[in-house]
A = this chain, B = another copy of it.
Amino acid sequence: MRDDAGDARGGLGTVRNAALLLGLLAAGSGYLQLTELAERSGLSYPTVHRLLRSLTLADLVHQDPRSARYGLGPGLVVLSHRYLSGLPILTAINPYLVQLRDELRLTVEVQVIVGTTLVTVDQVDGSEVGIYRSPHATCPALDRPAGRLLAARLGEPDWQALLDDLEHEAAAEAAARRADWAASEWLHEATRTAGTDEVAVVLTRAEDASPPAALAVATPPRLPEERVAEIVESMMRARNAADRTRGYA
């Protein structure tokens, strides 16, 4: 079965172009000029202009009236929230997050891997975070232990795409450690950028239809092994309670 309309395998060109522009706006920091988007996308100025105007009408893009530059739009927030509020794993783990935070006295996060990106989709803040919070954090998946556990559970094409973004040495190390990550229910080691360690526990099962998710807790460096074991145990308990809610025993 092959639908020729819609450029076999690639989908409708106009939708692909619109999505391309959204991706470019997401990859940039802040607002971009129409000419920059045309250069990076390979599309002409009038085409970029019409696509951006169409996306603006749909509230998916916003044009800064002062600078005429374009950025992502607020309509994306509603769509994303609707998506997240329907994820069974988030609904199931939700009731346990505050209790887990109070028990550990640490900020608890829920991470989801999307493509090669690790996204913080929920968090319950402990008092220890002070003024350094990142409620809408995204980072390359392998930067954090949670991302390593989840990335290792991706299918081959996604795993390969992830490796393609890495330098040779980092890709080799990741490839070497993949089987270990895939076999582990939890991981405690350093993050790449935040200068902290992190304990991560996988939430999702291979048979789940939604993207892989994990719990994550940032910890000080050089935590005693007993303390790590306690944290893992608490996180596992929350995870297992959520599993019972979801019908896994």
Interface residues on A, range: 35 or more
Question: Complex: how many Å from CA A58 to CA B20?
Answer: 8
Specify which chain B residues have a CB less than 8 angstroms from the CB of A119 in the assembled complex: 77-78, 81
Q: Mark A1-43, 1 if CB is under 8 A from B, else 0.
A: 0010110001110111011001001100110000000000000
Q: Which of B3, B124, B132 contacts A125 (CB 8 A)?
A: B124
Q: Produce 1/0 per residue, A55-76, CB < 8 A to B.
A: 1111110001110000111111
User: Please, which residues of chain B bring their CB within 8 A of the CB of A66?
Assistant: 209
Give residues in A with beta carbon < 8 Å to B: 3, 5-6, 10-12, 14-16, 18-19, 22, 25-26, 29-30, 46, 49-51, 53-60, 64-66, 71-86, 90, 94-99, 101-102, 112, 114-115, 117, 119-122, 124-125, 127, 129-133, 135-138, 209-211
